[in-house]
Amino acid sequence: MTLEERLEQATRIAHEAGRRIRAAREGGSLQRNIKHGNELVTDIDVAVDRYISEQLESLFPGEARLTEELSPDRRDLSDEKPLWVVDPIDGTVNFAHGHHHVAVSIAWVDKGRVQVGVVHAPFLEETFTGIRGSGAWCNDEPISVSGTRELDASLIGTGFPYDRDARFPLLRRLHAVLENCRDIRRNGAAALDLCAVACGRLDGYYESCSPWDFAAGLLIAREAGARTGHVYDCPEGIATELYGENLLVCTPEIYSPLKSLIKKGDSGQYR
């Protein structure tokens, strides 16, 4: 199957998943649970993961899957074999609180590199797609990053972990960014933050998150012209495209200045 055909299938699945997410909200009775001590999860996260997983298994039997709710085991990440990486609902807190920044994210990885990705936002009616080496689109129209060259004029997206103790150290870098950039956005869905960089609504994004949060969006941002990387070097022997610690994704011109600024913040040079 060509990459275009894989993307077409992934997009079809993401659209149906999106219809189920919308229908669930309209139905009104979400079951809210807590996993890993502090993470919100609903019955719809699990049901949509099951739907996507069954579809992928029937179309691509035997291909491995990393999905947030049903197959979150990351042991296979250094493997070279094909892998589907799925977040059934990115933005669960938004979903449960009635906000619109919610997405289905599906990526296909081969030899440790993301080849195709789709991020579908059912409430916003936007579908972002990307194919390695071929470009990125929103609702089938080509997209590209903003022309922002100066940190001072840049709007930066970020997010915070569920673990509240892990939030405190991030305040220093937040302080540095707020003092040197136009402003911050915390929209609550990492996949959509990356797509926002891809289509120029944000000029940069930084966060630490899981492969299912960013695999598709990172490809889409890169294909739209973003520079993608990490604030600190990745450990050896890990597929860097699936390594989510201290991700940094920006217009090419602000990448280095934002990286320095974040490091300065981390080192305590801001309060």
Q: Is 45 marked within a binding site? A: no
Q: What's the min distance (Å) between Cβ of 86 and ligand IPD?
A: 11
Is residue 7 involved in binding ligand IPD (CB under 6 A)?
A: no
Interaction of residue 190 with ligand IPD, rule CB under 6 A? yes
Among 90, 223, 241, 253, binds ligand IPD (CB under 6 A): 90
CB of 91 to ligand IPD, least distance (A): 5
> Which among 135, 104, 144 has a CA at the least distance from the CA of 12?
104
Residue 49, contacted partner among Ca ion, ligand IPD, none, CB below 5-8 A by kind: none
Both tokens of residue 71? 């197959």
Q: Is the CB of residue 179 less than 8 Å from the CB of residue 106?
A: no
**Choosing among Ca ion, ligand IPD, none, which partner's interface includes residue 161 (Cβ < 5 to 8 Å by kind)?**
ligand IPD
Q: Which of 49, 69, 213, 241 binds ligand IPD (CB under 6 A)?
A: 213
Q: Please check if 90 is assigned to a binding site.
A: yes
Nearest residue to ligand IPD on Cβ basis = 159
Residue 213 is assigned to a ligand binding site: yes
From residue 162, alpha-carbon distances to 37, 38, 159, 210 in Å are 9, 6, 10, 12
Residue 44 binds to ligand IPD (criterion: CB under 6 A):
no
Residue 159 near ligand IPD by CB under 6 A: yes
Q: Which stretches of the chain bind Ca ion, using CB under 5 A?
A: 68, 87, 89-90, 213
* For ligand IPD, the closer CB: 91 or 200: 91
One of 87, 203, 223, 241 touching ligand IPD (CB under 6 A): 87
Task: Compute, in degrees rounded to 10, the torsion defined by CA atoms 93, 124, 158, 83.
Answer: 80
Specify the stretch interacting with ligand IPD by CB under 6 A; choose among 18-26, 48-56, 57-65, 157-165: 157-165
> Contact between 69 and ligand IPD (CB under 6 A)?
no
Quote the least distance from Cβ 190 to Ca ion, whole Å. Answer: 6
Binding site, annotated residues for Mg(2+) = 68, 87, 89-90, 213
List residues binding ligand IPD (CB under 6 A): 87, 89-93, 159-161, 188-190, 207, 209, 213
